[in-house]
């Protein structure tokens, strides 16, 4: 029998290994084209270090949050490997890819207040990671106007999520403030 601590650690490592395999052909859309797993490690780091999140299910779901949306992994596979709670959390933060992108973005805003506390925390870490990457490595072909639009949308989603984890919310505000492009 593993101790609680060892089994918590084990599930997060398993999630990282599984996500690395699933996203292995995917790159971030930023100008550095980083391996996709970097984003998932970033989200895990934000949840743990900035957010103080210690629940292994939240940490593992944070690592797995893009697996269904971006790699077409069946939710049942997540459940079989990681259990129902992690599957449910991943599904809460998964967009319906059959909808057009503009509609998906609108739904993120309207659904945000209905999400569970744990799903909101994952969304917050995701938005911090995405906006930080946008500042550091703006995608090619994204003029300032498009970046500003993305930021404004991310802020509306975060505003609708507030109340879940004040440290992550403050970190989002700091990232937004700091990275505000100037003189372009
Ligand atoms: Zn993500």
Mean pLDDT by 10 residues, the chain (184 residues): 82 98 96 96 98 98 97 97 98 94 94 96 98 95 94 97 97 91 48
Domain presence at residue 184: no
Determine whether 70 is an active site residue.
yes
Distance between Cα 128 and ligand 1 center (Å): 10
Domain presence at residue 38: yes
Task: Residue 157: give its domain's CATH number.
Answer: 1.10.3210.10
Domain presence at residue 28: yes
Domain range holding 46?
4-178
**pTM here?**
0.94
Q: What's the pLDDT score for residue 5?
A: 82
Domain presence at residue 96: yes
Separation between Cα atoms, residue 107 and residue 87, nearest integer Å: 20
Distance between Cα 77 and ligand 1 center (Å): 19
- How many domains, the chain? 1
* Residues with Cβ within 8 Å of residue 130, at least 6 apart in sequence: 39, 154
């Amino acid at each position: 029998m593993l101790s609680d601590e060892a089994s918590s650690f084990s599930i997060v490592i398993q999630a990282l290994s599984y996500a690395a395999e699933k996203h292995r052909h995917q790159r971030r859309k930023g100008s550095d084209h980083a391996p996709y797993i970097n984003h998932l490690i970033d989200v895990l780091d934000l949840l743990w270090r900035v957010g103080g999140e210690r629940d292994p299910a939240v940490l593992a779901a944070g690592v797995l949050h893009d697996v269904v949306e971006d790699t077409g992994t069946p939710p049942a596979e997540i459940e079989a490997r990681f259990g129902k709670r992690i599957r449910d959390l991943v599904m809460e933060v998964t967009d319906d890819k059959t909808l057009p992108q503009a509609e998906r973005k609108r739904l993120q805003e309207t659904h945000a207040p209905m999400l569970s506390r744990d799903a909101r925390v994952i969304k917050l870490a995701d938005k911090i990671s995405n906006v930080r990457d946008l500042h550091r490595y703006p995608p090619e072909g994204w003029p300032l106007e498009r970046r500003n639009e993305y930021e404004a949308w991310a802020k509306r989603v975060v505003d609708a999520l507030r109340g879940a984890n004040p440290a992550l919310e403050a970190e989002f505000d700091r990232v937004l403030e700091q990275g505000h492009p100037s003189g372009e």
